[in-house]
Amino acid sequence: MTKADLERFRSALVALRDRLTTDVSHLTDEALRTRGGDDLPGSSGGSDMADLGSDNYEHEFTLSLLENQEQTLEEIDEALKRIEQGKFGWCEECREAIPKPRLRALPYTRHCVDCARKLQ
């Protein structure tokens, strides 16, 4: 892989990291959003059990998205480290080069397609 290729992948990873950091910030705000006591069961605030169930589902879904985004950010940081160490673009399982189309689709991947399938 050429230095120009590595620079393109580094730039793509940094751009993806910046976008996901913004998304994580938004999701964190959403997950930590506090509501008044009106939504507590047994209160006279007017929320019924269906509304509370929907709110709980949305909260759990947001937390799940947040966890996935944070994991992806960790993978991106690891890929940036691999670029610095000269290990980027090599499958950690079989030690073969990861094809560029796969890296363009998933620039933080650690494995070639065959090894990724085996590991799943």
- The pLDDT, as a whole number, for residue 90 is 97
Q: How far apart are CA 105 and CA 83, in angstroms?
A: 17
What is the per-residue pLDDT across 42-90, written as a single tens digit (0 to 9) for each?
444 456 887 777 778 887 888 888 889 999 999 999 999 999 999 999 9
Per-residue pLDDT at 106 exceeds 70? yes
The whole-number average pLDDT for the span 4-18 is: 97
- The one-letter code for the residue type at 120 is Q
What is the per-residue pLDDT across 32-52, written as a single tens digit (0 to 9) for each?
774 434 444 444 445 688 777
pTM for this prediction = 0.76
Per-residue pLDDT at 107 exceeds 80? yes
| 107 compared with 51, residue with greater pLDDT | 107
Cβ atoms within 10 Å of 100's Cβ, excluding its own:
13
Give percent of the chain above pLDDT 90.
Answer: 60
Q: Are 31 and 65 in contact (CB under 8 A)?
A: no
b/e code 40-68 from CB counts within 10 Å (16+ = b): eeeeeeebeeeeeeeeeeeeeebeeebee
- The pLDDT, as a whole number, for residue 9 is 97
The whole-number average pLDDT for the span 1-11 is: 95
Q: Which two tokens stand for residue 103?
A: 């890296």
- What are the structural domain ranges in the chain? 3-86, 89-120
Per-residue pLDDT at 2 exceeds 90? yes
